[in-house]
Structures are given as C-alpha cells and as structure tokens.
Structure 1
Amino acid sequence: MLPSLRTRRLALEPLRPAHLTHLIDLDGDSEVMRHLIGRARTPEEARAHWAPVCVGLAADGVGLGFWAGFRDGEFVGWWSASPPLPVAIEAPTTAELGWRVRRECWGGGLATEGARAVVGHCFETVGLEKVTAETMAVNHGSRGVMRKLGMRHVTTEVRDWEDPLPGSEQGEVTYEITREEWSRASGETC
C-alpha cells in the first residue's frame, strides 16, 4: 500500500478521487503546463486525464504511485514515482520521478523537498535500484530540481513530435540516480 510521506513542510498523501478538483485547477494553469502540452488543459481534459489516475491502485501494490502534497493544509502540487508499465507483479527495480507544483509555490524549494521524500521512499522503503526523471532541455526549473536531488544527466534525445512545443528542438533530457549514489549523498545505508 502506498504510504503517506512527511517532510519538514509537506504532507504527501496517496492520490485519490478527493484530490481531483486540485488536479484540474493545477492543469488549468498554462505556465504549469508549458513544458508538458504547451497550454492549459480544459477542465474536461484534466478530468479525463486524472480521474483514472486517482482510482488506479496498481502501482500502490509495489509501493509506488502518486501523492498529493499539502503545506499547512493547502494543496501545493503532486509528486509521483511510476514503475515501468505494465506494473509488474514482482517488485520493479526502477521508477520515473515526476512532480507538478502550483505556480504560486515555485522558487521556494517545495518541488525539491517533495521529490526528495519520494526518492528516499523509492530507495529506502521500496528498495529500487534506480530513479529516473525526464523533462524538456529548456525546462531549467525541473532540471534544477533534478540536480539538487543529486541526479545526473544521462541523455538528451531530440524526438519527432506531431505538434512540437517551443524548445523541443533542444530535446528531452533524462537524469538518473542510483540507490548507491543516493546512499553516498545522504550518508546512509539503504
């Protein structure tokens, strides 16, 4: 089962249908969605995207999934650790880290704080070997979070998109960190 996670400032709760309104509002901000789809999602698009995620519990069975983050009871965003699809019955060895934070909360370290809790959970509780993250090369904010987590840049790939976003010609970057690297950086044994 997916546990709740706590940091100094955040309470991360397993994502459930009660969080859907927050997700629709978050995806309705064009700046939040700029490097993902290049525009805000309509409420209908956001509902269609998030409703199945809020009830999908397959990843929970291996200790991975999505968390809604709150600071002092106020929704600030979400974080995820997604196993490779389809979710294997046996425990996965890797997951992809993701997050999205309300624009009003940018620049305060909350994205990094929540992501650090999720990565720690992936290594220390789930026992993964590696965590990866991906974004557009031009998404300097997300790349900064990845670097602060101790992740290292491993690839840049220019992909063909049917409807390319501005900056897509610079490619998609992938960062990763292994359990051993995490353990060395945090001074703990996983």
Structure 2
Amino acid sequence: MRVFLETERLVLRPFTAADTDRLFALDDDPEVMRFINGGAPAGLEAVRTRVLPRLLHDHPCFGTRGYWAAEEKATGAFLGWFEFRPLDEHGPAVVELGYRLNQAAWGRGYATEGSLALIDKGFTDLGVDRVTANTMTVNARSRRVMEKSGLSFLRNFTGNWPDAIPGSEHGEVEYELTRAVWEQRR
C-alpha cells in the first residue's frame, strides 16, 4: 500500500478499484449523505462509473491525486475520504479541502486531524497558496471542522442545487486559509 500522508492516528492512501464496496457503504448511508444529496441512497453502479473514476484521477500540477482514502492507523479500518484537490487542473495555487467520513468516525477529531495534515502538506510541499472549503450553511459540524483546521469564514452564497434538499434554502458558506495567514500562525 502506497501511503500519501500519515498523522498520529490516520493513514491517507490512494484509492483503488478494491475500495468500491467501502465507497458504496459510505455513500449509501443517509446520515453521511444528508448535506450532500438529502440522504438519497447510492447506487453501486454510480459508485463504479462516476464516484470511483473521480477519486482515481491524477492532477498534473500535483503529480498525484486529489482524493485520499482515510484509514485508522491502529486498525486499518476504512473511515472515509479526504479531498485536497486543485481547482485548476494545471495549477496548484488554490485547492478545495473536503472530507466524508463514516458515522463511526464522527466526533473523534479525525476530520480535523486529516485536514490539518493536508493543509500543512499543501503549503509546505505542494505549492498551494490558498485552501478553500464549502458546505451548506446548516452543516454546523463541517463548519466547525473548517474553523478548527484554521480556515476562516469568507462568504455566504447560493449554490445551484438541481434538487433542493432540507437546509439548502439557507444557502452555502465558503471558508478559506491563505498561505500568508498560515505562515503567521506557525
């Protein structure tokens, strides 16, 4: 197994086709998907044909992927994934931070731990100048992870939701962390 990043409790590694069933279980959990699609069930074929190819994509500006399978270091248990993906395929200046973890991992600090490690790697090794993250305004847990990871509230906005889900009427929020602010805090 090739490791991209390790923290005290996490291993972040590239996805493989062997992760299909784990991804399906994650995306099929209504609570995990509540702020993504309103908790609609996933389809195994959609995971195979749409989700997995996106997670396997290499970004030329990084020379690596933008999505990482997260495993608990002590047990090897699959926890979910982290996103640290350049918004411009050919330049690493701005990346989007994201995470999707299974319910067993919630409230244990994994999202913050993985996010902090990715942010540090981005600013020290990957040439990142700005980290951005978005969520629904009503997703208090995700917003708290962004704040604990050092990101600051930037703006409210209204996303283009093809199908409204509970809470989407309140819009979305964007958070950010720039290299300059990160360096000041070190």
Q: TM-score, normalised by structure 1?
A: 0.88
Query: Match for 1:125: what amino acid?
Result: D
Query: Match for 1:101: what amino acid?
Result: L
Matched, 1:84 2:87: yes
Contact 1:79/1:97 (8 A) holds in 2: yes
Consecutive unaligned residues of structure 2, counting only runs of 5 or more, are none
Q: How does 1:88-103 map to 2 (within 5 A)?
A: 88=90, 91-103=91-103
Contact 1:130/1:178 (8 A) holds in 2: yes
Summarize deviations over 1:28-70 as a string: whole Å, max 9, x none. 1010001001123122222222231243223574445111011
Name 2:171's counterpart in structure 1.
Answer: 171
Partner SS state of residue 135, structure 2: strand
Check 1:61–1:75 CA distance in 2 against 1; reply closer, same or farther (3 A cut): same
Check 1:28–1:156 CA distance in 2 against 1; reply closer, same or farther (3 A cut): same
TM-aligned CA deviation for residue 12 of structure 1: 0.6
Check 1:26–1:68 CA distance in 2 against 1; reply closer, same or farther (3 A cut): same
Contact 2:85/2:97 (8 A) holds in 1: yes
Consecutive unaligned residues of structure 1, counting only runs of 5 or more, are none
Contact 1:64/1:83 (8 A) holds in 2: no
Partner SS state of residue 18, structure 2: helix
Contact 1:135/1:174 (8 A) holds in 2: yes
More strand by share: 2
Summarize deviations over 1:78-120 as a string: whole Å, max 9, x none. 00111124x11xx321100111000111000011111111111
Q: TM-score, normalised by structure 2?
A: 0.90
TM-aligned CA deviation for residue 3 of structure 1: 5.9
Query: Match for 2:30: what amino acid?
Result: S
Matched, 1:106 2:106: yes
d(CA) in 1 for partners of 2:152, 2:56: 33
Name 1:138's counterpart in structure 2.
Answer: 138
d(CA) in 1 for partners of 2:57, 2:51: 10
Name 1:22's counterpart in structure 2.
Answer: 22
Name 1:68's counterpart in structure 2.
Answer: 69
Matched, 1:121 2:121: yes
CA RMSD of aligned residues (A): 1.8
Name 1:154's counterpart in structure 2.
Answer: 154
TM-aligned CA deviation for residue 183 of structure 1: 2.1
d(CA) in 2 for partners of 1:9, 1:47: 29
Aligned residues: 182
d(CA) in 1 for partners of 2:43, 2:97: 25
d(CA) in 2 for partners of 1:95, 1:83: 4
Name 1:56's counterpart in structure 2.
Answer: 57
